[in-house]
């Protein structure tokens, strides 16, 4: 029975998954957004719903403009669930639908969710999506559903899971072979599909992993760190 | 017109107050029918929402809370009419309270029944609302007691139970009187509900004791309930919601709107049930003074809330502040200030202007203003999220508006039915102490 009291930064646990996004590499191509949709069976909004703000993306690419036309510089920032160690969404859920799992992931249990919206209101990053209707896919997209990811009914909140199904698969195969999970072996869909290799995923508990080394980079920042949310997504951004 | 209803012969008082129970005019039937149809329309709208999903509302990302939450806070606020006013007046033994308390206590119960529905209506999967209740279940889980929404559920269920008892206790002696003479079904209803009341000294003693105790308890519950409602907002980290002042601010606003509702109800009862001898100018005068006090308090709180945001100049909070005072919501914000402060203070503060009519006008203004206040707390914060890229707009859909209208109709409907089934003024409270004074 989850008590919601799992320790947040538990060094004793084998893994503490985190991500680094290099904003100086990101071209804003949004391949990550598409990959995320395909991997996680995310419903597709129709244009009218999207225009009303009813887009269902677990990952979006924010655009920041600098300067006046025609001398405009565009900066992109992929924003996904930051998997905060002190996640504001977790304590407010009355039914424990969102909680911290032992590996530090901020997980959403769809079957428990009754849709109070409190988690989404309390998320400073606005990365939670709600199923306003029962999910729909334009023909023939319903044929390519990922069998490893459950479909969510209408009335339920959802969000980025760091592709937990891929994490589990790698962990299970490593367990079966009695070997540790190799660095870079787990690749969420967004990381795998990034042509600029701007996204890196790995174990923050392993000081030698690529993600740990990049997180210590001089360019490393965290989004709205000042709120005390302790995000596990690190952005690399050259100071200008 | 008698200045003191207490001086009327008890027989006349009883006749005056029991009369509305046995005679319903065409106006009553008309209003009941209209309200009933509106409630049906609201239920149909809710049915559409349950069938199709929350997408039929105007909600979107990031405005996940809208009209339903506004209505919820509004109705829970209205419910403070009864408890606060009647309990305070009972405890302080204010003699003038007699004809006011039951009218107020009925508002409390009905407003809570209506307000308590909104947290269920706004759920994505409303049919699972009971998952918030701590009970042994097949999911082998407790609810998350750290969530303000669980506190909310506990607070409101306690308040509904408490205020039902609080309304019921003083009804017992009246129902015992009614059990003697009436239609068969009514006789059965009243005798059953009066629990075999005989009017012995022991019974009176127990009842007095229970009412006193209940008044103390309900006062504490009422204040804690609206504080918890405020905490639904202030426990979050959203800009301007995260405020230490929201608890008392909400309680003050609740009492303020509760008084407004009570004045309107009193004036309506006075006119429609011909209670001019019972609800006299003095009652409205006293209620007006209470409302004036609350208006000043409300202004004080609103001012301290906004002046600290403005002086602190924190960018995210200033975004919401700007939306309210000079952005998209400025018109409604300044309307709120006028109807909640300028109008009540002018109409009720200047003695020459204070009358039953002006009190009713001011009360309607306060109800509108307090509804707007809740709208201005819920929506502007959500349309200005911390990341500018997620900014959105919100306008309620017909489903949300229909359900909102239906709840006002439901309030009127419940009240009309109540006033035909039970004397709206406690008759026994006028009963002289020695039996020879009776007629």
A224 touches chain B (CB under 8 A): yes
What pLDDT sits at residue A240? 61
B351 touches chain A (CB under 8 A): no
> Domain locations in chain A?
17-236
Of the candidates B268, B270, B288, the residue with the CA atom closest to the CA atom of residue B412 = B268
| pLDDT above 60 for B286 | yes
Count of positions (residues) in chain B: 439
The Cα diameter of chain A in Å comes to 58
B397 touches chain A (CB under 8 A): no
- Cβ count within 10 A of residue B195: 11
The mean pLDDT value for A3-20 works out to 64
Are B250 and B232 contacting, i.e. CB atoms less than 8 angstroms apart? no
Q: Which CATH class is domain A17-236?
A: alpha beta
| ipTM computed for the complex | 0.89
Of the candidates A43, A41, A11, A17, the residue with the CA atom closest to the CA atom of residue A168 = A17
How high is the mean pLDDT of chain A? 90
Q: What span, in angstroms and rounded, lies between the C-alpha atoms of B138 and B154?
A: 21
Contacts of B389 in chain A (CB under 8 A): 60, 62-63, 79
Residue A74: left if φ>0, alpha if ψ -120 to 50, beta else—which one? Answer: beta
- Looking up tokens 């959403």, which residue turns up? A108
Return the residue of A nearest to B390 by Cα: A126
Are A83 and A204 contacting, i.e. CB atoms less than 8 angstroms apart? no
Which pair of structure tokens corresponds to residue B166? Answer: 């609080």
Contacts of B132 in chain A (CB under 8 A): 94-95, 114
Q: Which domains does chain B carry?
A: 5-122+145-432 (1.20.1630.10)
| B-proximal residues of A, 68-127, CB under 8 Å | 79, 88, 91-96, 112-118, 120-122, 124-126
For residue range B181-214, what is the model confidence (pLDDT) as tens digits?
667 888 888 888 888 888 888 989 999 899 889 9
- Contacts across the A-B interface (CB distance below 8 Å): 140
For residue range B108-166, what is the model confidence (pLDDT) as tens digits?
999 999 999 999 999 999 999 999 999 898 888 899 999 999 999 999 999 999 999 99
What pLDDT sits at residue A7? 43
Of the candidates A230, A75, A65, A90, the residue with the CA atom closest to the CA atom of residue A159 = A90
Contact A126/B53, CB-based, under 8 Å?
no
B237 touches chain A (CB under 8 A): yes
Q: Dihedral of the CA atoms A96, B156, B249, A90 (nearest 10)?
A: 0
The model's pTM is 0.93
- Looking up tokens 């392993």, which residue turns up? A206
- Cβ count within 10 A of residue B137: 12
Distance from CA of B389 to the nearest CA of A (A): 6
């Amino acid at each position: 029975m989850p008590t919601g009291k799992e320790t947040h930064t538990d060094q004793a646990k084998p893994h503490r998954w985190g991500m680094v996004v290099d904003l100086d590499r990101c071209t804003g191509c949004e391949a990550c957004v598409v990959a995320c949709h395909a991997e996680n069976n995310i419903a597709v909004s129709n244009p009218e719903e999207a225009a009303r703000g009813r887009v269902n993306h677990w990952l979006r690419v924010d655009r920041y403009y600098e300067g006046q036309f025609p001398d405009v510089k565009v900066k992109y920032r992929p924003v996904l669930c930051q998997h905060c160690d002190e996640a504001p969404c977790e304590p407010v859920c009355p039914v424990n639908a969102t909680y911290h799992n032992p590996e530090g992931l901020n997980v959403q249990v769809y079957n428990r969710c009754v849709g109070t919206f409190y988690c989404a209101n309390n998320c400073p990053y606005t990365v939670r999506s709600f199923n306003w209707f029962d999910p729909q896919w334009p023909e023939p997209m319903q044929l390519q559903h990922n069998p490893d990811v459950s479909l969510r009914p209408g009335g339920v909140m959802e969000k980025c899971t760091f592709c937990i199904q891929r994490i589990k698969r790698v962990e299970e195969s490593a367990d079966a072979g009695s070997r540790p999970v190799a660095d870079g072996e787990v690749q969420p869909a967004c990381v795998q599909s990034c042509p600029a290799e701007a996204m890196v995923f790995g174990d923050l508990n392993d000081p030698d992993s690529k993600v740990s080394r990049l997180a210590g980079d001089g360019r490393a920042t965290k989004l709205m760190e000042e709120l005390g949310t302790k995000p596990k997504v690190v952005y690399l951004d050259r100071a200008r | 017109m008698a200045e003191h209803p207490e001086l009327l012969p008890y027989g006349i008082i009883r006749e005056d107050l029991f009369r509305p129970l046995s005679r319903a005019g065409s106006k009553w039937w008309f209003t009941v029918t209209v309200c009933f149809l509106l409630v049906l329309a609201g239920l149909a709208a809710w049915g559409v929402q349950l069938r199709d999903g929350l997408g039929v509302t105007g909600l979107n990302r990031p405005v996940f809370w809208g009209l339903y939450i506004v209505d919820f806070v509004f109705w829970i606020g209205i419910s403070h009419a009864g408890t606060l006013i009647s309990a305070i007046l009972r405890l302080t033994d204010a003699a003038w309270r007699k004809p006011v308390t039951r009218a107020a206590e009925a508002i409390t119960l009905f407003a809570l029944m209506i307000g308590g529905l909104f947290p269920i209506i706004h759920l994505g999967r409303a049919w699972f609302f009971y998952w918030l209740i701590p009970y042994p279940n097949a999911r082998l889980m407790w609810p998350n007691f750290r969530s303000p929404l669980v506190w909310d559920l506990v607070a409101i269920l306690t308040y509904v139970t408490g205020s039902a008892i609080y309304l019921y206790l003083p009804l017992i002696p009246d129902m015992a009187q009614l059990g003697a003479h009436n239609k068969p079904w009514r006789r059965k209803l009243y005798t059953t509900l009066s629990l075999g009341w005989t009017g012995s000294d022991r019974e009176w003693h127990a009842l007095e004791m229970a009412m006193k105790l209940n008044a103390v308890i309900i006062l504490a519950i009422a204040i804690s309930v609206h504080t918890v409602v405020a905490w639904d907002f202030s426990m979050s980290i959203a800009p301007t919601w995260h405020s230490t002042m929201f608890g008392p601010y909400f309680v003050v606003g609740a009492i303020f709107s509760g008084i407004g509702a009570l004045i309107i109800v009193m004036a309506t009862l006075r006119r429609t049930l011909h209670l001019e001898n019972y609800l006299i100018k003095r009652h409205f005068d006293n209620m007006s003074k209470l409302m004036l006090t609350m208006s000043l308090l409300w202004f004080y709180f609103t001012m301290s809330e906004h002046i600290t945001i403005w002086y602190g100049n924190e960018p995210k909070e200033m975004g919401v502040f700007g939306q309210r005072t000079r952005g998209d919501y400025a018109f409604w914000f300044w309307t709120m200030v006028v109807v909640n402060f300028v109008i009540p203070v002018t109409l009720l503060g200047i003695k020459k202007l204070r009358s039953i009519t002006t009190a009713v006008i001011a009360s309607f203004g306060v109800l509108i203003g307090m509804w707007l206040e809740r709208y201005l707390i819920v929506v502007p914060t959500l349309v200005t999220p911390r990341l500018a890229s997620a900014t959105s707009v919100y306008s309620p859909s017909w489903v949300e508006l229909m359900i909102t209208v239906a709840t006002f109709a439901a309030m009127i409907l419940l009240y009309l039915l109540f006033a035909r089934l039970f004397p709206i003024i406690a008759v026994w409270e006028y009963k002289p102490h020695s039996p020879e004074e009776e007629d």
